[in-house]
Amino acid sequence: MSVSAANASHAFECYIQQYRRTWRGSVFSTFLMPLVYLGAMGVGVGTLIDDPGVTGSLGGSYLDFLAPGLLAASVLLVVIGECTWPVISQIKWDKTFYAMLATPLSSTDVLVGHLAWVGVRAAMTAAATYLAMLVFGVVDHALSLLTLPAAILTGLALATPIYAFAVTRKNEASFSLLYRFGSVPLFLFSGTFFPVTELPTAVQPLAYVSPLWHGVDLCRTLVAGGTTLPMALLHVGYLAGWMVVGFVLARRGFARRMVV
């Protein structure tokens, strides 16, 4: 089913209007949490382990290692929040999707509009983390700005498969399991807080196939200024692949679920 940019923008506008009424509730998690994380983990823990013998393999201080990884990983928490309970809510409880489909919008228009909003939320979180990195003096060159689109791409690469899963659920019971056994391990073991090479050898391949690891590594090398074009393209292509496949599955599942 084709998508109309104009129609999708109307669906997107719905989420903008909703956020205008609720944005105050997300100020801490979006804008202040990055400062807390970098202060507590990057500076606090960093003072305990910043020793050439310990952090030499990290390419700098622990704060320098953590911050760009956290920029990519922070979008995971946003997209899983936007693509699970809100999705089932708009299907089962407040029926927002059905209201939209009673207009000239197609199911693909609604899906694209919602995912565009998820991308904006990921961008807001990434920008807030980037500003925190500026405050702590982690970034000092223009190339680091590319971490923002990299983080957004990472967010969408994670969002579309999660959306494809959520839209097939009859209730919200499985979302807690997805959070505990999906997002938490991804957040902790995708290279955000320590190199993947520190994991047991048998577990490392699982980390490397994670889209989050590709986002973390891409952001980290962009901040360090040590990325190469082939490796950057590999990361981008891998993330784009997850995004496209997830979108195809989400569109199919959404269309089937919204048949009335």
Assign 37 to helix, strand or coil.
helix
Burial class (CB in 10 A: 0-12, 13-18, 19+), 45: middle
pLDDT digits (tens, 9 = 90+) for 196-248: 998 999 999 999 999 999 999 999 999 988 778 899 999 999 999 999 999 99
Question: Taking a C-beta distance cutoff of 8 angstroms, is the pair 217, 196 a contact?
Answer: no
* Span between the terminal Cα atoms of the chain, in Å: 17
Q: Report if pTM > 0.95.
A: no
Instruction: Name residue 155's amino acid.
Output: G
| Spatial CA neighbour of 165 closest among 80, 96, 101, 47 | 80
Give the Cα separation of 254 and 91 in Å (integer): 10
pLDDT digits (tens, 9 = 90+) for 18-58: 888 888 877 777 777 888 888 887 777 777 776 655 555 66
Give the Cα separation of 61 and 138 in Å (integer): 10
Give the Cα separation of 41 and 31 in Å (integer): 17
Report domain extents, the chain: 5-258
pLDDT digits (tens, 9 = 90+) for 66-106: 999 999 999 998 999 999 999 999 999 989 999 999 999 99
